A and B are shown apart, each in its own frame.
Chain A
Amino acid sequence: MHGSHATGSPYAPHTDDDTTAMLEAIGVESVDDLFDIPEEVRFDDEFGIDARSERETRELVRSILGRNDDLTELLGRGHYGYYVPSLVDHLADRSEFLTSYTQYQPEVSQGFLQALFEYQSLLVELTGLEIANCSMYDAATALGEAATLADRARETSGHRVLVPDLLLKGRRSTLENYVAGTDLAVETYLTDDATADLEGLAELVDDEVAMIYAENPTVRGAIEERLSEIGDLATDASALFVLGTDPVALSLLQRPADVGADVVVGDASVLGLPTSYGMGLGLFATDERFLRQVPGRLVGISEDATDRRAYTLTLQTREQHIRRERATSNICTNQAWVALRTAMHAAVLGPSGMVDLAKRGVTRAEGLTERIDEIDGVTAPVHDRRHFREFVARVDRPARAVAEDLEDRGFAVHVVGEHELQCCVAGVDDAALDSFVDALAEVAR
């Protein structure tokens, strides 16, 4: 293979004459002479990966992905598929944005820095907290980072981290990995009808608690009605109150700052990304007290040599490339481009569009609940709560079988119990919801 080597990287622009001239300048005979690799570890075999033309490669991927079924997704539980305006794709895909790197040279990165500054500002308005970083990987890793912040910032010897029993497995497990290097231990508090059992939680709280985590809405789509009381429990125990949510929910629901949240985490890619198999954007906002403990990148305002306003990455002495093992986090590559997309999507919606989208999350979920509750063999909602975007329904037949029959008819729903399905209205248009109601009526009995 390597001997003839008729083809090479299509993106290496060298002509044969270039290569010859360069080798001459370096003073070697061939490129192979430049590889300083001992014989014993040299690789002299093939990977067995065929090269293709661009056209063939596109066709290959198109054909493989064609094996994905075309389903209407009534899926949520932490990952949502709202319609993303075309403006977002076209402008975020401008190659200066897409092909740039971390803004280590701010003088030639002003545009991206400003966009990230605007993203931070969006989250400050939504959360009511003073500081937002310009991205973590996703909600689960942001929760993990919140716990390590609690570890660094705690004022007591407390080591208990309390999370709801309903917490998504991926989030709980990620959190456990993040705290593995600390003396924090994750414990569960119970929920009652899909929201926190306040009395039970109060009994668990003592001086040993370092952090209480709650979500609004909860993973079952229920709106948490007693957030301030959870905040008070945390404050009384000198623990951090960490709240999980997202920008669409924040457009309507109580402001985290008003219920005593010290840190807000969640997935901000609810705006800006289509369903991307779980690819996300970790939201992280906190109180000014924790400025020097914040993980991740921060964009701040400064001035340039002519006293004009300029943006720059700041407080980098918290970061791994300066502080090494004493850094507030190991994060380096983050989700900057997704943050750009989210900021763009929010800008297209504007405050009225954001609020409308959130209101529709309540009214459309309620509307669908009422409609399917009328179907024989379906009871909805299971939880006697107010719902946002999604809810759980009880089906008389085994939920798994109902979900499979729905899938045959082109709809995907969550199975969350033996007789429980969860349905989400985000990103599903009204016509598709009508068809869904018909399909469920066919398969529910």
Chain B
Amino acid sequence: MSDDRTPGEGAPGGQSRYDQARYVRDGQYEPLLSEKDLTRVEIDDSPLPDDLTRDGLELPELSEPELARHYTRLSQMVYGIDSGPYPLGSCTMKYNPKFTEDVAALPTAAVHPDRSAASVQGTLEVLYRLQDSLGRIGGMDAVTLQPPAGAAGEFVGIRVAAAYHADNGEDHRDEVIVPESAHGTNFATAALGGYDVVSLPSDEDGRVDLEALEAALSENTAALMLTNPNTLGLFERDIAEIAGMVHDVGGLLYYDGANLNALLGRARPGDMGFDVMHYNVHKTFATPHGGGGPGAGPVGVTEELAPFLPSPRVREREGESGYELFDPEQSIGHVHGFQGNWLVLLKAFAYIARLGDEGLWDASAKAVLNANYLASQIDYEVPYGPFHHEFVASAGDQDAADVAKRMLDYGVHPPTTKWPEIVPEALMTEPTEVESKETLDQLAAAFRAVAGEDDDALESAPERTTARRIDQTSAARNPRLSWQALEDSE
């Protein structure tokens, strides 16, 4: 096989090996692996007949030191929560303690999902105890840990609601109501579940408009998907009345857990009348988001809905110590091939065990304190209020996307922009509890500096980042999605 290697053949630009000078000259930051080397390996001496195998495989063939430098360079071009504040509204970016990584790296954590229950009692105990803790925190009777992300948890909620209604002979319920300020996933999830989405406007206080809700509710309502506090950072004070209205028409109330950080130990979805909720353990419980995942989206439900939860779940063995898996009697089945994102769940378990009641209670206190303090320190208009964990400022005459790019020049990550659309040029800001007053003052200074700048400064930003302003339009107009496509186009 190795005789047939042809190093460098096919590498874009024709160079056989990483040409540092060329990349520096051309102003590129770190070449693609394919630009350092592409080696084609022919498939011969195969234990299989030719017609069952491919002809060859062409990929970079680099040494470990070369790879160590490649990925170290790439990591240096990434902003994480360890790099600085990351106040992305509704994304809840908290500092992630380091010890949870050590816990997840324990050799005893690496087990195959098809092991016998008797041989993985430790794993099952972690899952059982996490289910139990989440149930207490959310005020829910039963919890499944299987959904691998928040949106996957939403999907479980919608499927469980559908199964519940079907069980009651109410298949005609074909509408899910979603407030216009809700996360985009809510709309997409309801549609994925086959429901018609009924959009619900907000009232002038930024909360659910009870009259509009009354009009939207009907015998066709399967569920209302709500987050509380909502994406404007406002607590839905009429939640008890809302729950009553939804239940009166036979619908279910779904809690989107994206904003649970604001409520830890202060209020519980179960006590507010929610029938089903998801938890974003990678948000509320500080498990790393890893550049966009993995997360985990456990789902909690009331007793009436527990029989419909995904299979399998974990419970204590009857009559003897230890834990076992079981299938809920009217389960919707699986929503993941195995048991979800175990390593993320393990980190969440460790985090919750570290904080305990006092730590969780203090987390919501400081998160809410930080949001309100930062809101009081910036020049942009902040409509509505009072706020919980996040607030939505308006950039006014400035373009919120430009404001965000300019904030990068001040060394901080900007907030979520242009959403929710209720606030013009929205800057949706969530500092979380992990930022100190000093950091918040730095963030506020960046907000104030940018607020005072003219369009020229904003439009040419960012100037001090790895890459300058990136042309999103050309990326979409001329999609180049692999190094193979790049080769074709250059």
> Chain B's nearest CB lies how many Å from the CB of A271?
12
Hey, which chain B residues are within 8 Å of A312, CB to CB?
A: 470, 472, 475
> Chain B's nearest CB lies how many Å from the CB of A85?
8
0/1 interface trace, chain B 413-425, chain A, CB 8 Å (1 if under):
1101001000000
Of the residues B61, B133, B340, B342, contact of A47 by C-beta under 8 Å: B133
- Which of B129, B334, B387 neighbours the largest number of chain A CB atoms within 10 Å of its CB? B334
Question: Judging by beta carbons under 8 Å apart, are A130 and B485 in contact?
Answer: yes
Hey, which chain B residues are within 8 Å of A108, CB to CB?
A: 77-79, 408, 413, 462, 465-466
Question: Judging by beta carbons under 8 Å apart, are B188 and A327 in contact?
Answer: yes
A157, CB-defined interface residue at 8 Å: no
B109, CB-defined interface residue at 8 Å: yes
> B412's closest neighbor in chain A, by CB?
A108
Of the residues A2, A253, A337, A359, contact of B291 by C-beta under 8 Å: A337
B433, CB-defined interface residue at 8 Å: yes
A335, CB-defined interface residue at 8 Å: yes
* C-alpha gap A111/B465 in the complex (Å): 12
Question: Judging by beta carbons under 8 Å apart, are A279 and B88 in contact?
Answer: no
Of the residues A111, A297, A300, contact of B74 by C-beta under 8 Å: A111
* C-alpha gap A315/B99 in the complex (Å): 37
- Which of A50, A336, A347 neighbours the largest number of chain B CB atoms within 10 Å of its CB? A347
Hey, which chain A residues are within 8 Å of B33, CB to CB?
A: 118, 347
Question: Judging by beta carbons under 8 Å apart, are A43 and B265 in contact?
Answer: yes
Question: Judging by beta carbons under 8 Å apart, are A37 and B357 in contact?
Answer: no
Of the residues B82, B354, B387, contact of A51 by C-beta under 8 Å: B354
Hey, which chain B residues are within 8 Å of A326, CB to CB?
A: 191
A274, CB-defined interface residue at 8 Å: yes
A366, CB-defined interface residue at 8 Å: yes
> Chain B's nearest CB lies how many Å from the CB of A404?
8
A1, CB-defined interface residue at 8 Å: yes
* C-alpha gap A275/B108 in the complex (Å): 10
Hey, which chain A residues are within 8 Å of B152, CB to CB?
A: 137, 141, 331
Please give the number of chain B residues whose Cβ is less than 8 angstroms from any Cβ of chain A in the complex. Answer: 203
Question: Judging by beta carbons under 8 Å apart, are B366 and A12 in contact?
Answer: yes
Q: In chain B, residues 164-209, which have Cβ atoms closer than 8 Å to a Cβ of chain A? A: 183-185, 187-195, 197
Q: In chain A, residues 303-342, which have Cβ atoms closer than 8 Å to a Cβ of chain B? A: 303-306, 308-310, 312, 314-317, 319-327, 329-338, 340
> Chain A's nearest CB lies how many Å from the CB of B152?
6
B451, CB-defined interface residue at 8 Å: no
List the one stretch of A59-67, A197-205, A207-215, A430-438 in contact with chain B.
A59-67
With contact pairs A110-B29, A112-B78, A275-B112 given, residues A177 and B357 touching in the complex (Cβ less than 8 Å): no
- Which of A41, A48, A97 neighbours the largest number of chain B CB atoms within 10 Å of its CB? A41
Query: Contact size class for A?
Result: 35 or more
Question: Judging by beta carbons under 8 Å apart, are B80 and A170 in contact?
Answer: no
Q: In chain B, residues 131-183, which have Cβ atoms closer than 8 Å to a Cβ of chain A? A: 133, 136-137, 139, 148-152, 154-155, 159, 162, 183
List the one stretch of B14-22, B212-220, B369-377 in contact with chain A.
B369-377
- Which of A85, A182, A340, A344 neighbours the largest number of chain B CB atoms within 10 Å of its CB? A340
Question: Judging by beta carbons under 8 Å apart, are A331 and B149 in contact?
Answer: yes
Question: Judging by beta carbons under 8 Å apart, are A5 and B362 in contact?
Answer: yes
Question: Judging by beta carbons under 8 Å apart, are B467 and A34 in contact?
Answer: no
> Chain A's nearest CB lies how many Å from the CB of B6?
11
Question: Judging by beta carbons under 8 Å apart, are A112 and B346 in contact?
Answer: no
Question: Judging by beta carbons under 8 Å apart, are A301 and B388 in contact?
Answer: no
* C-alpha gap A34/B387 in the complex (Å): 7
Hey, which chain B residues are within 8 Å of A106, CB to CB?
A: 467, 470
A420, CB-defined interface residue at 8 Å: no
* C-alpha gap A107/B54 in the complex (Å): 39
B227, CB-defined interface residue at 8 Å: no
Question: Judging by beta carbons under 8 Å apart, are B289 and A99 in contact?
Answer: yes
With contact pairs A51-B359, A340-B291 given, residues A109 and B78 touching in the complex (Cβ less than 8 Å): yes
* C-alpha gap A280/B57 in the complex (Å): 24
List the one stretch of A121-129, A229-237, A376-384, A391-399 in contact with chain B.
A121-129
Of the residues B88, B370, B483, contact of A118 by C-beta under 8 Å: B483
Hey, which chain A residues are within 8 Å of B234, CB to CB?
A: 36
Q: In chain B, residues 336-350, which have Cβ atoms closer than 8 Å to a Cβ of chain A? A: 336-344, 346, 349-350
Question: Judging by beta carbons under 8 Å apart, are B481 and A131 in contact?
Answer: yes
* C-alpha gap A37/B152 in the complex (Å): 29
B457, CB-defined interface residue at 8 Å: no
Hey, which chain B residues are within 8 Å of A173, CB to CB?
A: 311, 333-334
B324, CB-defined interface residue at 8 Å: no
> B147's closest neighbor in chain A, by CB?
A137
With contact pairs A254-B54, A333-B150 given, residues A352 and B291 touching in the complex (Cβ less than 8 Å): no
B445, CB-defined interface residue at 8 Å: no
Closest 6 CB pairs of A and B: A278-B338, A337-B290, A181-B194, A51-B356, A8-B362, A140-B337
7 more CB-based (< 8 A) A-B contacts, given A109-B79, A277-B343: A9-B366, A35-B368, A47-B133, A47-B357, A57-B99, A68-B123, A308-B467
